[in-house]
Chain A
Amino acid sequence: MEISWSRAIGHLWKKGKRERTLVDILMSISVFEDLSKRELASVRRILYRREYGPGEVIFRQEEPGMGMYIIQSGRVTILSEPEGLVLSELGEGDFFGELALLDDSPRSATAIAKTGCQVFVFFQPDLLGLIERNPRFGMKIVLRLARILVARLRNADEQVFTLHRELQEIKAKTKGVSQE
């Protein structure tokens, strides 16, 4: 009897700890930065928890993208196919596939679990449902996503500008060399 009680308490403690950890992780994710604790609890209710073994494919490039993945533990490799070029390696608290929350275009890269990992999936239709039922709440998430994308766009613009400048310099140097 004592053993089963301690097991039950242990189970509840573990469950509470796990859920608290998930809310903590959600709070640290920029997409959910503006949400209150109550709203975060609502988000937590619509997330799907998945476990992946080392080397297991989470999603493949060119497949339909249906949601964003949040890593609770473990490491995930994002790579471009068919070259297999590693684009990034993500760990606990990181998220990926967030573009699928906004558009219906296919996945731009492949995600593979590098180690055993636990992830939470935020499904696009659930976000759309959230916007439909509670626009203020849904807009907080969408606005955050838009800001993330704007930041990335600015970053991409700067990179294009830098590359363009470097290209011009190379061209100028090449021209000089050929004239000599």
Chain B
Amino acid sequence: MKRNPVTLKIFAMIVMTDLGESIAEIFFKKGLLETGINSVNFGNILEFLSRNSSSALVWLGIAVYIVNFFIWITVLSRIDLSIAFPVGSTSYIFIPVFSMIFLGEDVGPERWLGIALIVAGIHFVSKSSHKRDGDR
């Protein structure tokens, strides 16, 4: 069991996987829209899969996922899963903030409150790693 604290480097790696995940989602979404199929059923699933597998954007999304996987297992080699997992909720902060900055979307008060709770939660969870509970 590893009980190392969340260092800045580890935190940066977790944030990178969150950013990667958000970017991959956008690639997938754009790729899916390009296939021109908007509902999948048993009749067209093969065509859906073949159109997706010829989409560069879908492959780009998969490539980002593979990079993310290697970053994530590196994170897990350093800190507890029950710490890494909630800290990995930063995408819920980035998506609204980026949509506000780059897409000019409004971020309402509930969303700001939610963001504040996530920040506080990540702070507390990261603090818990400093307690060793006498296991070392």
A and B part of one assembly: no
Q: Could you tell me which B residues sit within 8 Å of A by CB distance?
A: none
